[in-house]
Chains A and B, each alone.
Chain A
Amino acid sequence: MINILRSFAHKRESSSFFSWLWVPAFAGTSGLVALALGAWLAPAAAQFGPLELIEAARQEGKLVFYSANVAESETPVLNAFNKRFPFVKIEFLRAPGNQLLQRVKTEAAAGKLLADVIDHSDRALMREIENIFQDYAPPNATDYIPETLVSPKLWPRSTVVWSIAYNSELLKNPPKSWLDLTKPEYANKQIGQVIAPSGGTTWTRAMFERQVVDPNYWKKQAATAPVLFPSNAPTSDALVRGEIVIAPLLYNAIFPKLRDGAPVKVFFAPEGAPVTPFAAGIPKTAAHPNAAKLFLNWCLSEEGQAMMIREIGNLTSLKVAPLYPEGFDPKIVKVWVPNYEQFVELQREWLDEWNKTYGYRQ
C-alpha cells in the first residue's frame, strides 16, 4: 500500500521520478491484487489445492474435458465448477463409453490427445490404458473407499447407483424389493430391463442380481417376459410415457424427470444398491494440467460430490457421504460394489449366460 501511495506522490512531483519508481509500484500493486485474490480464494485453497495451483490454472484459462456422461448430467456440474472458478473455460466432449475410449486410444497413439481430463464408466477398460495418465491424487485422497480405486492415477469422480422406478399413475401395487421384479403379477412386458451387456453399469447390476439377490434371479425374471432396452435413457423415457410400468434404472437417468415432476416414483430396495464408480484421470500430455488438477480436485471434493448427489442424482465413493439422494437410507440400504477381479473375470461367461436366459441375440 505504501508503495502505491508513494508512487502516486512521486507522480505528482515529477514524471521522471515516476519512470524510476513505476517498477516497485507495479510490483506493489500486483502484490496487493495477489493478496486480495488470495484472501478471496483462501477458503477454496485449502480444499481444492494450493494457491499456486489455482493461480496456474487461472493462467491456463481453459481445459478440455472428455466424458462418457451425457451432457444433461455434466452441464450442471461444469456450471457449478465455473461458479467457483469462472476463469477456467471448459471445452466439453461427450461420447458413448466405448467410442470415447476408441477415440482416446487413437488420439494418444497419434500424439494428438486433446483431453486434459477423461472420465469413463468402465474402470477395467480405463485401467488398461493407465499408462497414458499422469500421477495424480486429490487433496482428500484418503477419504475415498479403497475398493473403488483401480489405479493410483484414476479416481471415482462419478459414482452412479441403481434404483427401481415405476410409473405412479399406472401402477397401483408397486414392488418393494429387487426380488419383487421376478413376480408373475408384473409379467407380460410390464417391466423394462436394460440389457446386461450394455456396459459396466448394467454388468454390475446383473452381477448384483445373481450374487446378492438370488442365484436364479435372471431365470425367474426372464420368465416375466420383460421388455429389453439397449440403455438407461430410452428405458426411463418409456417408463415416463407408460410404455412400461416398472424398471430398474440408474438413479441419475430418472432423477431429472423425477425432479421436474414426471409421474414416476423411485426407491432403493432393501437388498442393496449396486453402484459403479467411474475412473477419471489426467493424461500425461494434458496441455492444461493445472486447470485439470483444479477441476478434478473440486469434483472429488466434498463440495463437488455433494453437488453431484444433489443436482444430478449421483452417489459418492467417499467413505462418509456428505448427503444421500432422497429416499436413500444408508441404515437400510447397503451400497454394493462388485469385486473388481470378478468384475473382470466373470464378465464374458456370465454375460453369455445372461443373453441366453433373456433370449437376447448378441
Chain B
Amino acid sequence: MTAETAALVAPREAGRRISFGWLWSGALLVLLTFLVIYPVAMLVLGALTNTNPVVDGFGIYDLSLKNFITVLGNPNVHFALANSLIACGGGTLLAVIIGLTFSWVVVRTNTPCKRFIAAVSMIPLFVPPLVAAVAWSILASPKTGLLNTMIKWVGIDFRFDVYTMGGLIAIFGIYYAPYVYMFTASALRNMDPALEEAAEISGATPVRILFTVTFPLIAPAIISGMLLSFIVMLGIYGIPAVLGAPGDIPVLTTYIFKLTNWSPPLYSTAASVAIILMIVTGFLVFLQQKVVSGRSYITVAGKAFRPGVMNLGPWRYLTLSLAVIYLIVVVVLPTLALIVAAFRKFLFIRSVESLFDLKQYSLIHFERLFDNPLAVRSIWNTMEVGLITAVFGGILAFAIGYTVHRTNAAGRRSIDVISTLPVAIPGLVIGVAYLWAWIGLPGGLYGTIWILALAFIARFMPDTIKALSTSLLQIHKELEEASWICGKGLLGTIRTIVLPLARPGVIAAMTLLFILAIRELGSSLFLYTSNTMVMAVLLLDYYEGGNVGITSAFSLVQTLLLAVLIGIAHFLSRGGADTSVGRAG
C-alpha cells in the first residue's frame, strides 16, 4: 500500500467506523424504545387519561392533568410518600452499615470461615420479600411471634414488634444489605492496595485507613449499592404489605396496589402515583451520577496486586461472632420460622412446649403443593424464564454498559438515560403498561415465556447495567489500548481483555438478573397465562389463599432451588475473580 492509498483508505476506514457507531447506537436505541420508551409512554398516557389504550383505542383521549392534581393534593399520598422515604432511607442506612461491614470482614480481614460466611450472607437476597415478611411476622409479631413466646417463657418482660416503622426499617435493612455487600465486596476484592499501603507507611491507624482511603476508593460501589437497595426497597410490595398493614403504615407501593384493587380499579391514578415515584427515583439517579461523574475510580490497572488482608489478632473472633449473629438473625431464624410453618399443620403456637410437640408436624403442605400440577409447571417455567432473562439481559446489559462507559459511540448519553429509566417504575404498575404495549403486537408473543422474559429484561436492565458498570469502570483504558496496539480489533479486545477482567461482574450481574427474574411478581401479574404460570405468581396465589403452610413450603422449595443455582454461579464467579486477578499482571 502506497502512502497515497493509505491516506485515501484512512478516512474511508474512519468513516466506516463512524457509520458503524451510528448503526450500533441506532440499533440499541430502537431496542430500548421497544423495551422501555413504548411501555413507559403507555404508562404516561394511562396517567393522563382515564382510559385503557388497548380497549379504548388511540384516538379518543381526553388528556388532562386531573389525575396528577388529585394525587398531589391527596394527604394519603403525602403520608404514604413520607412513610416510603423514612422506611427506605432508614433501611438503606442499615443496609450500608451491614453490607459494608460484612464485605470488609469477608474480603479484607483474616476472620475465620470466610467462604462459608460469604456464601450464606447472600441468602437473604434469594428470599422473596413476601416470604421474608411472612417469616418475620411469624417470628416477631407482638402477640404470637415465636421470639416473643420464647422470651416470655424465659421470663423476660420485653416484646419484639415488627408491625412498626422500626420493624419495617430493620427488615428492609437486613434483607437488602446483600445489594450493598455484592457491590462493595467485588470492589474491595478488585482494588489496588497501593494507597492503603502508603497510608499505613505514613502511620495511619487501620480504622483511619478504612474511612479515609478504603471506603472513599470504593465510593462508586457503595453509592451504587446504596442507590440500588434504596430503589429496590421503594418498589417492594411484599414487606410493607405484610408488616405495614397491621400497624397501619401505608407506603407508596401498598397504596398503588390498593388503587389497582379498588373496585373499579383506578389504574390511571395508580399510574400517576407511579410517575411521582419515577420522578423521586429519577432525581436520585441523577444525584448518583453527579456524585460519581468527574472522579476516577480506576483501581484495576495493568499491575499485579492482591489486596492485603488485615490481621485482626484476637479481634477476629469478634468479627466472626458478629457475622454469626448476623447469619442467625437473617438466615437461621427466618428459615427456622419457615420450616416450622411449612411442616406444622397450623401456626397456632400456644407455648414453647407446643412448639416441640412433634404430633403437630406433618408433610401435608408439601403433599398438597405437589398435588397441584401447576406447582411443578411453574418451577419449570420460572427456571426457563430466569435463564432466558439472565442470558439475553446479561448480553444486552454488557452491550449497553460497554457502549456507555468504554466507547465514544454517538447517542450513548441517551442510551444511558433510557436504560436507567425502568429503575424508577414499580413493577405493580409497569406490568399493566407492558400488557398494553405488547399484547397488540403481531405474532404469537403474548401467551409465551418470551413476553415475561422481555418484561424482566426491560425492568431489570438498570440493575444489571449498574452491577456490570462497577466492574467496567474499574478497568483502566490502558489495558484496551495495549490490546489495540498489539493489533486486536474491538471485538477481540472485548473477548480477550474486557470480558475476562469483568467476568466476576458479568456473572454477578447475570446472577442478580436471574434472582430478580425468579422473584419478580409485579410485572408477571398481567403477562402470565395459564401455560406460563411462574413461581412468584403461584406463591402470591397461595399467600392470598391464606395458607401460610403451603406458602412456606413453596418458599423453601424455591429457596433451595435458588441456593443450588446461586452456588453454581458463585463458584463460576469466584473462578473468574481469581483468573482476573491472575491475568492483571
| Chain A residues closer than 8 Å to B245, beta-carbon distance | 228-230, 234
Within the assembled complex, what's the spacing in Å between the Cα atoms of A260 and B261? 30
> Contact: B263 with A242, CB < 8 Å?
no
Q: CB-CB contacts of B425-450 with A at 8 A, as 1s and 0s?
A: 00000001001100110000011000
* B152 interface contact, C-beta 8 A: no
- Which residues of A have CB within 8 Å of B263? 97-98, 122, 125, 197, 199-200, 203, 347
Q: Which A residue sits closest to B371, measured CB to CB? A: A75
How far is A91 from B348 in the complex, measured between Cα atoms in Å? 35
Instruction: Give the chain A neighbours of B246 by CB distance below 8 A.
Output: 227, 243
| Interfacial chain A residues near B76, Cβ < 8 Å | 361-362
A233: CB under 8 A from chain B?
yes
Select one of A70, A200, A229 contacting B541, CB under 8 A. Answer: A70
Minimum Cβ distance to chain B for residue A50 (Å) = 28
B526→A103 contact, CB < 8 A = yes
Q: Whose C-beta in chain A lies nearest to the C-beta of B247?
A: A227
Once A71-B545, A229-B245 are accepted as A-B contacts, the answer to whether A169 and B350 lie under 8 Å apart by CB is yes
A106 contacts B by Cβ under 8 Å:
yes
Residues of A within 8 A of B347 (CB): 237, 240-241
The answer for the CA separation of A271 and B321 in the assembled complex, in Å, is: 60
Beta-carbon contact of B144 and A105 below 8 Å? no
One of A106, A167, A229 near B439 (C-beta < 8 A):
A106
* A94 close to B541 (CB less than 8 A): yes
Q: Does A64 contact B (CB under 8 A)?
A: yes
Chain A residues lying within 8 Å of B55, measured Cβ to Cβ, are 105-106, 108-109
Which residues of chain B from 539 to 584 have a CB within 8 Å of any chain A CB? 541-548, 550
Distance in angstroms from A344 CB to nearest chain B CB is 11
Enumerate chain B residues within 8 angstroms of A98, measured Cβ to Cβ.
Answer: 260-265
Chain A 238-261 interface mask (CB, 8 Å, partner B; 1/0) = 001111000000000100110011
B526 touches A102 (CB 8 A): yes
User: Is residue B267 within 8 Å, beta carbon to beta carbon, of the partner chain?
Assistant: yes
- Determine if A71 and B538 form an interchain contact, defined as CB atoms under 8 angstroms apart: yes
CB B88 to nearest CB in A, in angstroms, measures: 19
- Of the residues A75, A102, A109, contact of B267 by C-beta under 8 Å: A102
Indicate if the CB atoms of A253 and B348 lie closer than 8 Å: no
Please name the residue on chain B nearest to A197 by beta carbon: B262
Q: Which residues of A contact B542 (CB under 8 A)?
A: 70-72
0 or 1 for each of B8-28: is its CB under 8 Å from A? (1 = yes): 000000000000000000000
B79 at the A interface (CB under 8 A): yes
Which residue of chain B has its CB nearest to the CB of A98?
B265
Closest chain A CB from B450 CB (angstroms): 15
User: B261: which A residues are within 8 A, CB to CB?
Assistant: 96-99, 198-199, 230
Is A107 an interface residue when CB atoms closer than 8 A count as contact? yes
Query: Residues of A contacting B546 with CB < 8 Å?
Result: 70, 232-237, 253, 257
Q: How many residues of B contact A (CB 8 A)?
A: 57
What CA separation (Å) do A65 and B533 show in the bound complex? 13
Q: Is the CB of A91 within 8 A of B531?
A: yes
Inter-chain contact B544/A96, CB cutoff 8 Å = yes
Once the chains bind, are A243 and B545 in contact (CB under 8 Å)?
no
A98-B264, A233-B545 known; A112 vs B439 contact (CB < 8 Å) = yes
Is B241 part of the binding interface, using a Cβ–Cβ cutoff of 8 Å? yes
User: Does B525 interact with chain A (Cβ within 8 Å)?
Assistant: yes
B530 contacts A by Cβ under 8 Å: yes
B residues in contact with A5, CB < 8 Å: none
Known: A112-B439, A169-B350, A242-B144. A93 touches B529 (CB 8 A): yes
A174 lies within 8 A of chain B by Cβ: no
Known: A114-B530, A241-B144. A106 touches B436 (CB 8 A): yes
B346 at the interface (CB under 8 A from A): yes
Contacts of A112 in B (CB 8 A): 439, 446-447
- B52 CB to nearest A CB, Å: 6
Chain B hits for A70, CB < 8 A: 541-542, 544-546
Q: In the complex the two chains form, what is the Cα distance from A65 to B529 in whole Å?
A: 10
Give the distance to chain A from B500, nearest Cβ to Cβ, in Å.
45
Find out whether the CB atom of B526 lies under 8 angstroms from the CB atom of A125: no
Of A65, A125, A233, A262, the most chain B CB neighbours within 10 A belong to A233
Cross-chain contact of A110 among B54, B250, B526, B529 (Cβ < 8 A): B54
Contact A362 B52 (CB under 8 A): no
CA distance A232 to B546 in the complex (A): 8
Within 8 A of A (CB), among B79-130: 79
Chain A positions within 8 Å of B413 at CB level: none
Provide the residues of chain B in CB contact with A253, threshold 8 Å. Answer: 546
- Return chain B residues, CB-CB under 8 Å to A110: 54, 439-440, 446
Report the contact-size class of chain A (Cβ under 8 Å from the partner): 35 or more
A64 with B530: CB separation less than 8 A: yes
Give the complex CA separation of A71 and B554 in angstroms.
14
Query: Are A93 and B541 CB-contacts (below 8 A) given A102-B265, A109-B55, A240-B346?
Result: no
Q: Which residue of A lies closest to B525 (CB)?
A: A99
Q: Once the chains are docked, how many angstroms separate the CA of A71 from the CA of B248?
A: 28
Give bound CA distance, A92 to B41, whole Å. 32
- A92: contacting residue among B258, B346, B374, CB under 8 A: B374
Residue of A with least CB distance to B80: A361
Asked whether A72 and B262 contact (CB < 8 A) given A105-B52, A169-B350, A241-B144, the answer is: no
Q: Could you tell me the distance between the alpha carbons of A227 and B142 in the complex, rounded to whole angstroms?
A: 13
User: Does any Cβ of A come within 8 Å of B143's Cβ?
Assistant: yes
Q: How many angstroms between the C-alpha atoms of A197 and B265 in the bound complex?
A: 11
Query: A71-B545, A232-B546 in contact; A106/B54 too (CB < 8 A)?
Result: yes
Which residues on B sit within 8 Å (CB–CB) of A285? Answer: none
Contact partner of A362 among B143, B248, B258, B544, CB < 8 A?
Answer: B258
Does A101 lie at the interface of the complex (its beta carbon under 8 Å from any beta carbon of B)?
yes
Provided the pairs A102-B52, A109-B52 are in contact, do residues A71 and B541 lie with their beta carbons within 8 angstroms? yes
Query: At the interface, yes or no: A28 with Cβ under 8 Å from chain B?
Result: no
Q: How far is the CB of A105 from chain B (nearest CB, A)?
A: 5
Chain B proximity of A188: nearest CB distance (Å): 11
**Does A171 reach chain B (CB closer than 8 Å)?**
no
Question: Would you give the 0/1 interface string for A214-237, flagging 1 where the beta carbon is closer than 8 Å to chain B?
Answer: 000000000000011111111111
When chains A and B are docked, how far (Å) is the Cα of A112 from the Cα of B438?
12
Flag whether B141 is at the interface (Cβ < 8 A).
yes
In the assembled complex, B345 has its CB within 8 A of some CB on chain A: yes
In the assembled complex, B407 has its CB within 8 A of some CB on chain A? no
Interface string of B28-64 (1 = CB under 8 A from A): 0000000000000000000000001011100000000
Complex formed: what's the CA distance from A137 to B462 in Å? 52
Asked if B348 contacts A169 (CB within 8 A), the reply is yes
Interface assignment of A139: CB less than 8 Å from any CB of chain B? no
Expressed in whole angstroms, the Cα–Cα distance for A261 and B547 within the complex equals: 14
- Does any Cβ of B come within 8 Å of A263's Cβ? yes
Residues of chain B with a CB closer than 8 A to A229's CB: 245
B350: which A residues are within 8 A, CB to CB?
A: 169, 242
Interface residues of A in 82-137 (CB under 8 A from B): 91-99, 101-103, 105-110, 112, 114, 122, 125
**Given A102-B267, A114-B529, A73-B545 contact (CB < 8 Å):** yes
Residues of B within 8 A of A233 (CB): 543-547
Contact with B along A55-75 (1 / 0, CB 8 A): 000000000110000111101
Could you pull out 15 A-B pairs where Cβ atoms are within 8 angstroms? A70-B545, A72-B542, A98-B264, A98-B265, A110-B439, A125-B264, A197-B263, A229-B245, A230-B245, A242-B144, A243-B141, A257-B546, A260-B364, A262-B345, A347-B263
Which 9 residue pairs spanning A and B have beta carbons closest together?
A233-B546, A91-B530, A70-B545, A98-B265, A109-B55, A93-B530, A72-B545, A110-B439, A361-B76
Instruction: List the interface of chain A (C-beta within 8 A of B).
Output: 64-65, 70-73, 75, 91-99, 101-103, 105-110, 112, 114, 122, 125, 167, 169, 197-200, 203, 227-237, 240-243, 253, 256-257, 260-263, 347, 361-362
Query: Given known contacts A91-B530, A102-B432, what 9 new A-B pairs fall within 8 Å (CB)?
Result: A70-B545, A71-B545, A72-B550, A96-B261, A97-B261, A98-B261, A110-B446, A169-B350, A237-B547
